[in-house]
């Protein structure tokens, strides 16, 4: 019996196994879908779908750069446990995805998951294969590519992939000339978690919300409403110094702001430098993690046995 695309699709939907795995077992079973399902189960490849409901809030962040650091990409892939995040096969998978993200046309995650993955069908197929083989739910959560003309990119990975940062510096200098400075700035982003690069990039809606919070705090402190218009600008300025990267106090030298530090390095090398882009990914941020009671879990297991 001929193995059609429709047959492969049906088997994928019923088992959650990868496309290439489905095709292989259908060929082995001469197109018999029920026998193919049995074969997938025997091989442990029909488990991916059942694991999809588990919360994957651990994982890894990886960054990648082209040869001249004129393009950069960051990707986050989640797993259920930190143990699997250290699995060599998982690490290689995330590194490969970071390299693939460098060639992506956009930040469209669904389009990225549909890209061909060497020897395993698509990225989604490869992911399902890893889920089946390693035995945990995993998720390609997000990625971002940066490639602005005139910008040089440098990155920093903290905690073996718990936090990944890329900073973009507008400059005529080569990547190796600004490497130390750019890494310092990337480490600043990792540790201080700024929301914006500078005031020009501040989200107006976010700023308006912060103003309202500041007003309410002042009223709660007993400040007269008539005085608020005079006090709020100072409050806002203080807030912006905390959330804008270039205005933050430089962690390695509190006498300088990040912008002043970068300017000092620019003078040293004789080429202008300006921080214009950044991205910071932290594993699992924003994912609601399930709280497990270990004693209860053991008791449940013993009861089941």
- Pair 145, 72: CB distance under 8 Å: yes
CA 195 to chain centroid, in Å, comes to 15
pLDDT in tens, 204-231: 999 999 888 888 888 888 988 888 888 9
Q: How many CB atoms lie within 10 A of CB 74?
A: 23
Question: What are the CA-CA distances from residue 213 to residues 14, 19, 36, 61, 240 (Å)?
Answer: 51, 51, 60, 33, 14
Same fold, 52-147 and 204-240: no
What pLDDT sits at residue 173? 97
- Pair 54, 60: CB distance under 8 Å: no
Quick one: CA torsion of 32, 33, 39, 43, rounded to 10 degrees?
140
Side-chain-facing half-sphere of 270: CA atoms under 13 Å: 0
Which strands make up the sheet holding 163-171, listed edge to edge? Answer: 151-158, 163-171, 273-282
pLDDT in tens, 57-100: 899 999 999 999 999 999 999 998 888 888 899 999 999 999 99
What pLDDT sits at residue 81? 87
The listed CATH number (3.30.479.20, 3.30.479.10, 3.30.413.10, 3.20.20.10) that belongs to domain 52-147: 3.30.479.20
pLDDT band, residue 265 (cuts 50/70/90): very high
What fold does the segment set 204-240 form as a domain?
Answer: GTP Cyclohydrolase I; Chain A, domain 1 (1.10.286)
Q: What is the mean pLDDT of residues 127-149?
A: 91
- Pair 279, 166: CB distance under 8 Å: yes
What pLDDT sits at residue 3? 86
The Cα 62–Cα 155 span in angstroms is 10
The Cα 129–Cα 131 span in angstroms is 5
CA 59 to chain centroid, in Å, comes to 10
Q: Which of 159, 214, 169 is nearest to 191 (CA)?
A: 159
What pLDDT sits at residue 57? 80
Q: What is the mean pLDDT of residues 101-123?
A: 93
Question: What are the CA-CA distances from residue 270 to residues 216, 246, 262 (Å)?
Answer: 48, 20, 12
- Pair 119, 140: CB distance under 8 Å: no
The Cα 265–Cα 133 span in angstroms is 49
pLDDT in tens, 279-302: 999 998 987 665 545 455 545 555
Q: In sequence order, what DSSP letters do the residues of 152-194 get, joined into one string?
A: EEEEEEETTTTEEEEEEEEESS-HHHHHHHHHHHHHHHHHH--
pLDDT band, residue 41 (cuts 50/70/90): confident
Q: What are phi and psi of 76, to 5 degrees?
A: -120, 125
Which is higher by pLDDT, 183 or 33?
A: 183
Is the pLDDT score of 167 beyond 80? yes
Which is higher by pLDDT, 287 or 151?
A: 151
What fold does the segment set 5-46 form as a domain?
Answer: Helicase, Ruva Protein; domain 3 (1.10.8)
Is the pLDDT score of 120 beyond 80? yes
What pLDDT sits at residue 37? 83
- Pair 162, 285: CB distance under 8 Å: no
- Pair 195, 206: CB distance under 8 Å: yes
Domain ranges of the chain: 5-46, 52-147, 204-240
pLDDT band, residue 12 (cuts 50/70/90): confident
Is the pLDDT score of 303 beyond 80? no
- Pair 237, 146: CB distance under 8 Å: no
- Pair 165, 278: CB distance under 8 Å: yes
Q: Which single residue is written with the structure tokens 């903290």?
A: 158
Is the pLDDT score of 305 beyond 50? no
pTM (predicted TM-score): 0.76
The Cα 158–Cα 245 span in angstroms is 18
């Amino acid at each position: 019996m001929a193995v059609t695309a429709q047959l492969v699709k049906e088997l994928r939907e019923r088992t959650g196994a990868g496309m290439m795995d489905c095709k292989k077992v259908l060929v082995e079973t001469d197109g018999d879908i029920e026998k193919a399902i049995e074969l997938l189960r025997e091989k442990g490849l029909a488990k991916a779908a059942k694991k999809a409901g588990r919360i994957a809030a651990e994982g890894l962040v990886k960054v990648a750069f082209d040869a001249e650091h004129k393009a950069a990409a960051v990707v986050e892939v989640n797993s259920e446990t930190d143990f699997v995040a250290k699995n060599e096969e998982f690490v290689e998978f995330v590194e490969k995805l970071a390299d693939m993200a460098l060639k992506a046309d956009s930040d469209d995650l669904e389009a990225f998951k549909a890209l061909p993955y060497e020897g395993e069908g698509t990225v989604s197929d490869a992911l399902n294969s890893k889920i089946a083989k390693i035995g945990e739910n995993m998720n390609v959560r997000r990625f971002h590519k940066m490639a602005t003309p005139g910008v040089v990119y440098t990155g920093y990975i903290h905690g073996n992939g718990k936090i990944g940062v890329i900073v973009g510096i507008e400059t005529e200098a080569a990547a190796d000339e600004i490497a130390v400075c750019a890494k310092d700035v990337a480490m600043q982003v990792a540790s201080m978690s700024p929301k914006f690069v500078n005031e020009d990039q501040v989200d107006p809606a976010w700023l308006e919300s912060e103003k309202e919070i500041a007003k309410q705090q002042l009223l709660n402190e007993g400040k007269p409403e008539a005085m608020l218009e005079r006090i709020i600008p100072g409050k806002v300025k203080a807030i912006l110094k905390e959330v804008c990267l270039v205005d933050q106090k430089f962690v390695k030298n509190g006498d300088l702001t990040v912008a002043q530090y970068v300017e000092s390095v620019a003078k040293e090398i004789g080429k202008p430098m300006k921080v214009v882009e950044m991205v910071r990914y932290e594993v699992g941020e924003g994912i609601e993690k399930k709280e497990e009671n270990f004693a209860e879990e053991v008791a449940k297991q013993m009861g089941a046995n």
